[in-house]
Amino acid sequence: MNNKGFTLVEVLATIAILAILFGISVPVVSRYIDKAKVESDEEMTETVKKATVSYIQANKDLAPKEDGSSVEVYVTELYQNKYITHELVNSNSESCMDGSYTQVTKVEEGKYKYDVYLFCGGKEIKNEVKSSKPGIGNFKFSDLDDLDKMSFSYSLFIDNKDEYIEEYSYIIYAKMSKDSDYDEVYDSGPISGNHLSTIGNTVRIKDKVSFINTNDIKVTINVKTNANISSTKTITSK
C-alpha cells in the first residue's frame, strides 16, 4: 500500500502558484467591477438626460427663454411627473434622488444643452466623459442690403460639462470685384472664452472694417476647447 504524501517542497510550490494566480486575478476582477460601476452610472446619467429632454419638450414654458440662460430640472420633479418610473440608485445601492438635477441651457432658438449632475449618497458622481467637439450655431448675417448695418451673429457652445471654451476667433473677408477672390480685411485674433460653456454675440461689419466697397462678405469662425479640440465654420453673405 502506497501512503506517499506531498513533500514540503511540493506544498510550498503549490502555495506559490496559487498566490501568483490570486495576485493576477484580483486586479482583473477589480477592473471589471470598476468598469461595470462606471457603465451603470453612465447609463443612469443618460436616463436622466433623456427624461429631461422629454419633460422640457412637453413643458416648453419651463425651458430657459434667453440664449445662454439656464434652468434646473430636479430628478424628484421628473419622478413625480412619471418621466422617471423608478427611484434611482447607484452601483453601491445609494439613493441618487435628493439633490440630483439637470441644468438646461438655451444655446439658440430651438436648441438646448443638457448637463446632468447626480448626487448619490451625498456625493456627486464623476463620470469619465470623452472630450466633445465645440458647436457653432446661430451663425448668420443680417441686414445684407445695407453695408452700414450689416452684421453677423454666432453662438458657441460645448456639450461636455467638464470642459469649456478656451478661446475663439473670427476672420472677415471681402470680395472687391465680381471676378476677384476673397481678401482678408479683419482678423479678431484669439479671444478668451473665460471658461464659459456658451458664448453668443453679434458683430457689425462697419465696427471692424473702416471701408469695404462690396456687400460680398465672408466670415470664418474658429472655436477651441480646453481639451484642444477645435471647430471651424464659414458663412457668406451671397
pLDDT above 70 for 81: yes
> 112 in a domain, yes or no?
yes
The verdict on 100 and 178 lying in the same domain is no
pLDDT at 14: 74
State how many domains the chain has: 2
Candidates 141, 137, 143; CA nearest to 173 is: 141
pLDDT at 131: 66
Dihedral sign computed on CA atoms, order 54, 55, 60, 66: negative
In angstroms, the CA 153 to CA 229 distance is 22
The verdict on 165 and 231 lying in the same domain is yes
The verdict on 57 and 140 lying in the same domain is no
pLDDT at 179: 72
The verdict on 12 and 119 lying in the same domain is yes
> 151 in a domain, yes or no?
yes
Higher pLDDT, 145 or 189: 189
> 169 in a domain, yes or no?
yes
SS3 label, residue 222: strand
C-beta separation of 234 from 219 below 8 A: yes
In angstroms, the CA 236 to CA 219 distance is 6
The verdict on 73 and 154 lying in the same domain is no
pLDDT above 60 for 238: yes
> 2 in a domain, yes or no?
no
The verdict on 70 and 151 lying in the same domain is no
The verdict on 14 and 109 lying in the same domain is yes
Point out the domain boundary residue: 96, 128, 160. 128
pLDDT above 90 for 207: yes
Identify the domain containing residue 34 by its residue range: 7-128
The verdict on 123 and 221 lying in the same domain is no
C-beta separation of 183 from 171 below 8 A: no
pLDDT at 1: 46
Here the cell at position 152 is: 453677423
Mean pLDDT of 35-62: 85
The verdict on 143 and 51 lying in the same domain is no
Point out the domain boundary residue: 128, 161, 193. 128
Higher pLDDT, 27 or 202: 202
pLDDT above 70 for 153: yes
pLDDT above 60 for 25: no
Mean pLDDT of 26-33: 54
Mean pLDDT of 224-235: 92
Q: What is the CATH number of the domain that holds 214?
A: 2.60.40
Point out the domain boundary residue: 110, 128, 146. 128
The verdict on 118 and 88 lying in the same domain is yes
Specify which of 16-20, 24-28, 164-168 reaches the highest per-range mean pLDDT. 164-168
> 1 in a domain, yes or no?
no
